[in-house]
Each structure stands twice: as structure tokens, then as C-alpha cells.
Amino acid sequence: MQPEVQARLRCEINETLAQHDNQLTYECMNKMAYMKQVFAETLRKYPILPHLVRQALNDYVVPGYPKYVIPAGTLVTIPVIAIHYDAEIYPDPEKFDPERFTPEMVSAREKVEWLPFGDGPRKCIGFRFGHMEMRVALCYLLQNFHFALCTQTVVPVQISKSFSTIPKNGIFLKVERI
């Protein structure tokens, strides 16, 4: 369960809260840069949906291949999980590495190389709410608990072949109050 990531994140939470009179406000949450990185890396490895389906609104000529045209109305599947695990985009993709999401690293990549909520006008409308809700929950949990995997958890975690990204064999945790 990444004890070094938990420790660094817990430290960031406590330091940031101390600078904001221990009030978890929107501004306070936005100061937690490492938390944003951890959240982004988690969604890279485990996007909610492993693929997106979109419909071409117009005929689309594939750049560099003029004889290949995606006709208007065609359903197109975007393999989110394949993009997120592409070693050319994310070296050593199996490794959990929040440093992939520093501002410098993010600006060096194309926007469409991280799609856990989709992109463009069809991007998940709950993105901002879900993002903030998860970060608030993570603040509370890491301030009060330490997490570790139990021996029942199969490592590496295997993903079920279903509509959404869920662990095939579950994840069992050991939770200790701090």
C-alpha cells in the first residue's frame, strides 16, 4: 500500500491543514499538490472505465492515411487502460509513481494521454465533484489511519473483465488507527 507515499501524503495533509487553521477548505485542498499527483496516478492505473465509446459526428480522415476514413455515425472505442499502460507514454507503467504527475511531467504529455474521466465536451460532468470528494475523504482517512495490504490480497491486483475497473479477487486491508 505504498507506505512511503502514505507517509509523504499524510505529512502534506498535516502541514497544509496547519497553515489553514486546521480548516479543510477548497483553498486548502488546492494547496495539496502531492495529493493531486497521487489521485492522478491512482486513476491512471485504475481508471473507472477501462474504455470510452464515442460516436463520430463527422467523417474523419486519419491523418497521414487519406484512404482511411471513419464515417460519421461510427462508434469508436477509446482504450483508456491501453493508453494509461503504454510504456512510451508512462515508462514502467505497472509501477505506482505519483511523480508522473508533477506540473512539468503533465505539461510534457498530450492532454489525451490521461483519460480517466474522458475529455472534451463529453468529459464526465461529475469530474470536479468526484475529484474533490475523493480528496476530502483521503484527507480524513490518512489523518486518522494507516493502511496496509492483508495476506488475502492477491498481488499484483488483477482487474476483472467487466464494465468498470474493479479488482478480480477483491482488496483486503489492514487498517490501524493512528
Residue 124 in marked binding region: yes
Full DSSP string of the chain = --HHHHHHHHHHHHHHHHHTTT---HHHHHT-HHHHHHHHHHHHHS-SSS-EEEE-SS-EEPTT-TT-EE-TT-EEEE-HHHHHT-TTTSSSTTS--GGGGSHHHHHTS-GGG--BTB-GGGS-TTHHHHHHHHHHHHHHHHHHEEEEE-TTS-SSPPBPSSSS--BTT---EEEEE-
Nearest to 131 by CA among 42, 17, 24: 42
Distance CA 59, CA 74 (A): 9
Q: Which residues are annotated as a binding site for heme?
A: 124
Q: Which residues are annotated as a binding site?
A: 124
